[in-house]
Chains A and B, each alone.
Chain A
């Protein structure tokens, strides 16, 4: 039976919807499984029809946008009442997005600029529109300060793959075993130089085979792209042992784990691994959808359970997965930051870390999930997936992190002086979460 879903758009740009639509032909597979009961951007159901539904009638509610107007806040509460599971869909709902930068000012100053002072205004006595208008919240706060949020899906916008894997996951469509035998059977390293035996986390024993074997041919572990196999290889015991004791993992292993989580288990690229644990709980609680782990070999089930338990109990695990972890550029390159360059200065090369080339890049303090899209076209990260640590001074933290891990010749003090727009750089997407600006 099709699952009831609703999309609520708050104050924002429609970009999360566009990102969902960007799956284009992929939509044909997913749409039949959804019973869309509210989505003003696409279907004609009106607000009254949403209000008329019984509480909890809808399984999944996507709430998009920032809480700028009083209507945004009322609609969020309405969605909470009508939906069993609420997804904060995109960085506006998760963190307030760029609109939160307005929290630097009293709302009246923003209203004056737009409705009274703008150069092109021609009324003799212009004033804020009030007739049938909702009015504004004095400060923007993230959605989870208004209603309880079950799942955070960050990104501006979240990638279509992430949205889709979230929807598929909720529908219980994955994972499904593919090949009869596991990856190890075809692996070029299986005999003499098995990575698992050397202590590297490799998911070959439980993963379907049939790929190009490119990872292991290049000396890298299998991260589980093809999903589970119908049987396991003889090395599964070693893998199970490692997943029972995650204390010894190095950062490379954690990166593999991250990829495994998204590719193998198809857990959506939410705003952090911890939430992947949450979503499992939530989906089980609703009872209407379930993950089809039933068809998997016992060992595979045990290993994935170990991993999920680990992730769920280590909320600070997100700290290690930054945009830099997925950036194709070299850190520790031949370049060195000797002054902070502005983006318009010169033109960076495509190989070296942008920070080391002198540019301000928010990668080191920004959550992974995008795959480093901006970096690939030579533009620095601006932080749209949100930060990896909260309730800290972001620019101080940034400076500490780059001083420690990157080729930077400036002192902490010099760095702080040379970053003129500190909020605009380090908290562009998240200022609404900063309680110093309330």
Chain B
């Protein structure tokens, strides 16, 4: 008898999706689908808008990562119109991006992912959530909340709002940081660095406890898509970098993205399947997000994070296909984020009022803006008319870059679970929370 296993909805993620695994009479996995069941057509309804208003609309694509969705279209319009921004604006945007990176990564680690590890995969689903973690480990819970709070408050300070920021404008930023606010956040940094170090310790313990899982479950070779600035990890500025399954790194100017990224429209998901175009579909399926970024990076931008990157690469290789190492890579990016936050808060340009180019003129043309959102590369291609009205918009959003990779991994893991019964022999630790 054919058996269909449906998980509806997938919980503890941002967005709408279900899983569907079909197992045949012979016990073999016949199909594994990741069904994304919602889309809202931003590509269409941004047509006819003022180009500079597009970054006021598109943050609504993602409430977790609205800052990348505010800055990527701003960069795209600047690219289309040939606008340069002042150094102070560049630094404010970097600070804003890293504040978001920090809070989002901590939200992901503690609220979305940690319940699986702290309670173990066989815990009561009614309890396997962050609320229970907070109840049972109040110190860790309070620390996690303070980390997210710091990042979100810093986003709100610079962006006006943490969810759906408004302060970036074509030509720079609407306002520098207030000195008083800068001082306030600078004072909070040492405690956050301390929290981050504790988080690294927790993460390393989780990796060690679950080493059998990390090393053996969902190890799936794919391509990877990320961004670096001359090989250095960067989430605001740089070139696209593709890493091949055998570890070769290839850089591409963002303007050539149509030669690099193909979009396959599947029958069973509103989120499309992106892939590395020269390798074709499905062979060229890549993954994005944290592990893709560390696979791409020759080094991190800051000392502590770079040390952590070297330690991870020594253990799992320069290019890793270990799906569970995504959590590890996320923590390394978190370390870099807090180090960069400290660095930018100390930079006098952060309070420099010269943060906006005053003479900005629209012109006809196409522009591309790319940033690394917390879930992967985010690419906006906007077409402006000579009055600065948006004629057309093409979007390749962060989560989207992972859909095909997740489905490929799902198939792999489904075979491990249902065909090989691999889970039965796994060495699992005693849960921290019983």
Contacts and interface: CB of A to CB of B under 8 A. Distances in A.
Contacts of B152: 22, 24
A350 interface: yes
Nearest to B260: A120
B63 interface: yes
A69 B38 contact: yes
A185 B389 CA distance: 60
Interface string B173-202: 011000000000000000000000000000
B50 A424 contact: yes
Nearest to A120: B263
Given A129-B267, A344-B171, A428-B57, A114 B163 contact: no
A71 interface: yes
Given A69-B38, A113-B44, A119 B394 contact: yes
A18 B63 contact: yes
A397 interface: no
A428 B146 CA distance: 34
Contacts of B264: 121-123
Contact of A421 (B18, B49, B161): B49
A401 to B, nearest CB: 20
Nearest to A130: B267
Contacts of A105: 44-45
A16 interface: yes
Interface residues of B, number: 94
Interface stretch (B121-129, B203-211, B216-224, B325-333): B121-129
B148 A102 contact: no
Interface stretch (A131-139, A211-219, A272-280, A331-339): A131-139
Interface in A126-183: 126-127, 129-134, 156-157
Interface stretch (B7-15, B226-234, B303-311, B406-414): B7-15
A267 to B, nearest CB: 23
A367 interface: no
Contact of A44 (B60, B128, B267): B128
Contacts of B277: 122
A14 B63 contact: yes
B395 to A, nearest CB: 8
Contacts, number: 264
Contacts of B263: 118, 120-122
What is the size category of the interface that chain A forms with chain B?
35 or more
B164 A15 contact: yes
Nearest to A37: B126
A205 to B, nearest CB: 36
Given A99-B41, A420-B387, A131 B268 contact: yes
A41 to B, nearest CB: 7
A409 interface: no
A382 B387 CA distance: 21
Given A13-B63, A45-B126, A133-B270, A24 B48 contact: no
Interface in B261-283: 261-270, 272, 274, 277, 281
A115 B272 CA distance: 8
Contacts of A119: 258, 381, 394
B358 interface: yes
B136 to A, nearest CB: 13
B35 interface: yes
B252 interface: no
A421 B48 contact: yes
B35 A132 contact: yes
Interface of A: 9-19, 21-22, 24-25, 27-28, 31, 36, 40-48, 66, 68-69, 71-72, 97-99, 101-102, 104-105, 109-111, 113-116, 118-123, 126-127, 129-134, 156-157, 342-348, 350, 373-374, 376-379, 382, 384, 420-421, 423-425, 428
Interface of B: 7-16, 18, 20, 33, 35, 37-45, 48-50, 52-53, 56-57, 59-64, 66, 107, 111, 125-126, 128-131, 134, 141-142, 145-146, 148-149, 152, 156, 158-164, 166-167, 169-171, 174-175, 257-258, 261-270, 272, 274, 277, 281, 356, 358, 360, 362, 381, 387-389, 394, 396
9 contacts: A12-B63, A24-B148, A41-B12, A42-B130, A71-B16, A99-B41, A120-B258, A374-B161, A377-B159
